[in-house]
Copies of this chain bind each other. A is one copy, B any other.
Amino acid sequence: MPRRNDKPAVAVVGATGLVGRELLSILATHRLGRGEIRLFASERSAGVTLSIGSRKLQVKRLTTEGFRGVDVAFFCAGAHVSRQHARLAAEHGAVVIDSSSAFRMTQDVPLVVPEANADVLAGWEPPGIIANPNCSTIIAAVAVTPLHRAAGIQRMVISTYQAASGAGAAVLEELKQQARDFAAGRSYTTRRIGRQYLFNLFSHDSPIGAAGYNEEEQKMDRELRKIWDNPTVRITATCVRVPVLRAHCESINLTFDEKLDEDDARAILSAAPGVRVIDDRTANRFPEPIDAMGRDDILVGRIRADSSQPPGKGLSLFVAGDQLRKGAALNAAQIAERVVGEVAKTGA
């Protein structure tokens, strides 16, 4: 059931969270936000008023009725909420863009990073659910897919440097609070994080499976292989939280099927959509989290042939991306724009 959509009616579930708020800032400036916007959250946050450009909108409590007439429903409220409401929203006719992990590995649900696999949306018919990948996955996919297309990635070793924002607003606030605690000579506030985070780092705070990988690491592996529709790429990740506010970095080491030298890789990345190369060896300027904050592009640098592999067969990169923006809200909005655009193109 294709439909118009110059001014789609948009719903944001989890509007008061970090990803929800980032999405509102995107809707304020993108054409996707020109129509009706409905904001939903849990009972606790209902009644709050949020701004989208010059509009002020009240957040409502999430009900299934609320999806009636909605064209695009963004779910940014965690897997539990998505499992409960996303299918119902789709049944009401909405295109659901789900930022939680609930449907990412579900077979019929596309998992999309537009720069990497927009083609999977070609035959897709609304309504239904499209999954937005995990933030670390999106950041890696944007940086690495152009190289994968050129030379075929055989193996990928990733170590992440992940920001506090990925753990939610309360953790982000507590990290800032710990800096104030330090300055005041007080003991650290650890109500949310349970440990000193300022001047420290720790293994990613997601449960660890039987094989010793935490969920974040498993997501990177599974999701990248689904996005590339390639079950044989071998991926191992080590995910670490560092005391940074909202951009993730990733140290990525690649082994290729075909040969790809450093200059060709740099040229490919310089021309790649969604990528900005920052790779100034003389000035020692490479991607940093504070440069990635608030930016749409994924920053890529430290591009160099891997001396531990045969010439042309390996490459290392260092990548930074805003975890809330391209790593979550912006990618969701871009998926929606593709689908709305696709529908417009196929007529109706």
Residues in A lying within 8 Å of B, measured CB to CB: 155-157, 159, 161, 175-176, 179-180, 182-184, 195-196, 198-203, 205, 207-208, 211-214, 221, 234-236, 238, 240, 242-245, 249, 251, 253, 262, 281-282, 284, 286, 288-290, 301-309, 314, 316, 318
Docked-complex contact B253 and A201, CB < 8 angstroms? no
- Pairwise interchain contact A208-B284, C-beta atoms closer than 8 A: yes
Complex contacts, A253 vs chain B, CB 8 Å: 157, 236, 238, 253
With contacts A212-B302, A284-B203, A316-B236 taken as known, whether A179 is within 8 angstroms of B161 at the C-beta atoms is no
> Contact between A318 and B240 (Cβ–Cβ < 8 Å)?
yes
- B203 & A316 in contact (Cβ 8 Å cutoff): no
CA distance A309 to B288 in the complex (A): 30
A221 in contact with B307 given A157-B157, A183-B184, A199-B243 (CB within 8 Å): yes
Which of B156, B242, B309 contacts A161, CB < 8 Å?
A: B242
Q: A58 vs B157: C-alpha distance in the bound complex, in angstroms?
A: 50
Nearest CB in chain B: distance from A309 CB, A: 7
Q: How far is the CB of A296 from chain B (nearest CB, A)?
A: 20
Q: Which of chain B's residues has its CB closest to A246's CB?
A: B199
Given contacts A176-B182, A183-B183, A243-B199, contact A212 B290 (CB under 8 A): no
A306 in contact with B200 given A176-B182, A242-B242 (CB within 8 Å): no
Q: Which of B155, B242, B305 contacts A201 (CB 8 A)?
A: B242
Inter-subunit contact B234/A308 (CB<8 Å)? yes
Q: State whether A198 and B179 are in contact (beta carbons under 8 Å apart), knowing that A157-B157, A242-B161 are contacts in the complex.
A: yes
* A211 and B289 contacting across the interface, CB-CB below 8 Å: no
Q: Which residues of B contact A179 (CB under 8 A)?
A: 179, 182-183, 198-199
> Which B residues lie within 8 Å of A236 (CB)?
253, 306-309, 314, 316
- What 9 A-B pairs are tightest by C-beta distance, nearest first? A212-B304, A183-B183, A159-B159, A234-B308, A159-B251, A236-B308, A208-B281, A180-B183, A203-B286
